[in-house]
Structure 1
Amino acid sequence: MRLVLTGGGTGGHIYPALAIGREVAEKEPGSELLYIGTKKGLESRIVPAQGLPFESIDISGIRRSLSLENVRTVIRFIQGVRRSKALLKRFKPDIVVGTGGYVCGPVVYAASRLGIPTLIHEQNVVPGLTNKFLSRYASGVAVSFEDSLPHFARVGNVKYAGNPVASTMVKANKAQGYASLGLAPGTPFVLVTGGSGGARALNDAVLAMLPGLVSLAGVHLVLVTGDRYYEQTAERVKALPADVAKRVHVLSYVNNMPEVLAASSMIISRAGASFLAEVTSLGVPAVLIPSPNVTNNHQQPNAESLAAAGAAEMILEKDLSGDGLLRSVSSIMRDAELREKMAKASRRLGTPNAATAIYEQMLELIHRK
């Protein structure tokens, strides 16, 4: 297969694209892939590091208020379409797959104008602006949440496939997760993460609840702070009573998140779509605090979807406190039957075969042409 991937701005768009690329390479050895992104986006660093050919176009997002910058964006879009057409004519892909972000707009639109099959993948429950626009032109749409389907009711070929990053989790080694944390196998622990950059609100709430950890005998807590908050958080943990501090493990970043996640008893986290795909593929009970600082508040519907299924509890950041968080953690960690019930609900939402489902949808679109 000759495949063009496009998606950028955040890891939530980039990693699903890379997962699709890996699936194609495994299913069809000798396939040729090309990734089209922007020079300023995170993809310009992540994709070449994966050994994939990378080309760039210049594009920016539409502002929600009247602005001269929007005029420049329209001009960049037109130029981006022209540049994308040139790249596509040269590469001659069988299909173009977009996973979100502004860069997808001109690339997928250009492919549709050239008669090349196109597929867009939506990670969140509520579609982003670019994917809403592209759904009018794409040959097909794949969604990560079943709750997304009504948003694409007018699309002829839309399928609930899941998020392809989930497919990488099935091989996660739980024993390696414990070993990397210096914990004995089977040690119950709560994993807290605010994403790669960390989240101050989560860190502060967890620090406020830590004195209450003494009531949860034998339970450890792994707090992934993000680089910005590591030193100050580590200092505050050192000031805790020794019997609590010895059960709190403060890390700035986790390089082996699949293994650590597989070993965890429950998780406290934001509600980014790709991370939730990993959580549900492993069936980890969760307390979710969606970030209010994202476009269209898109994390809240993600969290609500898991909460409605019984796989998670949701706490809005405005309602977050140390006492409230401790109550949620205590109720879950003290009740093995509840944890198993949440884990089963989570696994029912998991889509470990998502990458394969998307690959099969791609073949269908190619053969249809």
Structure 2
Amino acid sequence: MDTRAPRVVVAGGHSAGHIEPAMNFADALRRLAPAAEITALGTVRGLDTTLIPARGYPLELIPPVPLPRKATWALLRTPARLRDSIRTAGAVLDQVQAGVVVGFGGYVAAPACLAARQRRLPIVIHEANIRPGAANRMAAWMTPHVYTASPDVRLKNGTAVGIPLRPAITGLDRLATREAARRRFGLDPDGPVLLVTGGSQGATTINAAAAGAAAALRAAGVRVLHITGPQHTVEADDPSYVVLPFVDEMQYAYAAADFAICRSGAMTCAELAAVGLPAAFVPLPDRGGEQRLNAGPVVSAGGALLVDDADLTPAWIESALLPILTDPARLAAMSARASATGAPDAGIVLARHVLAIAQRHRPAR
């Protein structure tokens, strides 16, 4: 494959759920084509200016254009805002002499794809969620190059590849790293470990249920690594129940654990499947069922449990989870089933597709 310096613009700003797979893809592309010139589009409205420069990629800002999901007064103002954003995105594409645009959804994807269409540039779409967002639903009609996290994602021309992940996750050997990871958190190297996390912001329901079950977990010999989120606190005076507000390198938390209780965002589901960590997924109750759908494939495969937010209580942990945590054979079986649903090479697969598309559309020299 000809890997001469492709010029790629990635558009996936605003939320970490869009930014993280975009940056992971960019990393994979650079591993395959070190000379690739990669520019990220973002807005000042979300996490773009924090997360993208930290990954080492140039960031160009365009006006955010949220696409209303319903007919509201905001919809009437959208065309003018969209024109302005398309114009700005187009100027960036011209400036960097883009050869291909890769959209990951969110506020910047729609204007970027529309600007690319005006210039007859190839467009590639990646959708991480089971329920596609408005931007990617629209963009999927502009291109045959549509890639998804799962075969369950319903998008025109969709091909399932998984979600691009960091090498620290895809290259993790949990068993080989377990002892060092547990030492890192001050956990006993023997016995089962339960990872409890509500994501970067924490989750009150998950925190309360795990803390309420602490005595029962301790009595059963289960150690706990509880990541509360920076705005939450959980009191624990037991060395077998480790409480932290935040963990920056989650691969070590995954390596230390035998099981997790967590939300079921698309990235979380993909990471746990990639490392083979079984979980009890507790979907956010206010996202239209999106997180429940994200957890569906691994739950159906037998690699995870699904519990409603309202049903997650200390009693549920004691009755439903303790028998699993104290059964090594069942933990191993669930781990294998979770791993079978993972796609640790998704970033490289997507990068190869993009390089091939860029090569086919490269102007003759």
1:312 pairs, out of 304, 315, 333, with 304
Change (3 A) 1:175 1:32: farther
Determine whether 1:200 maps to 2:192: no
Using the TM superposition, give the Cα deviation of residue 64 of structure 1 relative to its aligned residue in structure 2, in angstroms. 4.0
Q: Which residue of 2 aligns with 1:286?
A: 279
Q: Identify the residue that residue 66 of structure 2 maps to in structure 1.
A: 61
Native 8 Å contact 1:123 1:143 kept in 2: yes
Query: Secondary structure of 2:92's partner?
Result: helix
Q: Distance in 2 between matches of 1:66 and 1:351?
A: 37
Bigger helix share: 1
Find the aligned partners of 2:227 and 2:120 in 1 and give their Cα distance.
Answer: 46
**Maintained 8 Å contact 1:23/1:355:** yes
Decide whether the 8 Å contact of 2:170 with 2:345 is kept in 1.
Answer: no
CA distance in 2, matches of 1:139, 1:34: 22
Return closer, same or farther for 1:346/1:129 CA change in 2, 3 Å cut-off: same
**Match among 90, 99, 110 for residue 94 of structure 1:** 99
> Shift in Å at residue 186 of structure 1?
4.4
State the TM-score, normalizing by the size of structure 2.
0.92
- The answer to whether the 8 Å contact 1:167/1:351 transfers is no
Label 1:76 to 1:175 Cα distance change in 2 as closer, same or farther (>3 A). Answer: farther
Task: Measure the CA separation in 2 of the matches of 1:166 and 1:145.
Answer: 18
Which of 250, 271, 275 is the equivalent residue of 2:268? 275
Equivalent AA in structure 2 for residue 165 of structure 1: L
Equivalents in 2 of 1:229, 1:117: separation in Å?
45
1:255-279: CA deviations, max 9, x gaps?
1211211221100000011111110
Deviation sequence 1:156-212 (CA, Å, 0-9, x none):
xx3211111164413334444222201243452100100000000111111222221
In structure 2, runs of 5+ residues without a counterpart are 1-5
Query: 1:127: how far off?
Result: 1.2
Cα distance in 2 between the residues matched to 1:204 and 1:48: 35
Within-5 A mapping of 1:81-120: 81-120=86-125
For 1:139 and 1:80, how far apart are their aligned partners in 2?
A: 24
1:1-369 pair list within 5 angstroms: 1-148=6-153, 151-152=154-155, 154-155=156-157, 158-165=158-165, 167-172=167-172, 173-217=177-221, 219-230=222-233, 233-234=234-235, 237-238=236-237, 245-294=238-287, 296-369=288-361
1:7 deviates by: 0.7
Range with greater deviation from structure 2 (86-95 or 306-315): 86-95
Letter in 2 for 1:360: R
* Residue type of the alignment partner of 1:169: I
CA contact (8 A) 2:11 2:42 kept: yes
Contact 1:121/1:142 (<8 A) preserved? yes
Gap change, CA 1:139 and 1:186, over 3 Å in 2: farther
Q: Is the Cα contact below 8 Å between 1:117 and 1:139 reproduced in 2? A: no
C-alpha distance in structure 1 between counterparts of 2:128 and 2:15, whole Å: 12
Paired residue secondary structure (1:351): coil
The letter of the residue matching 1:159 is T
Q: Secondary structure at the match of 1:229?
A: coil
Q: How many residue pairs end up in the alignment?
A: 352
Mapped contact 1:291–1:299 kept (Cα < 8 A): yes
- CA separation of 1:255/1:166 partners in 2, compared to 1, >3 Å: closer, same or farther? closer
Give the unaligned 5+ runs of structure 1: 239-244
Q: Which amino acid aligns with 2:205?
A: A
Query: Which amino acid letter does the alignment assign opposite residue 283 of structure 1?
Result: G
**1:305 positional shift:** 2.1
RMSD: 1.7
Identical residues among aligned pairs (%): 29
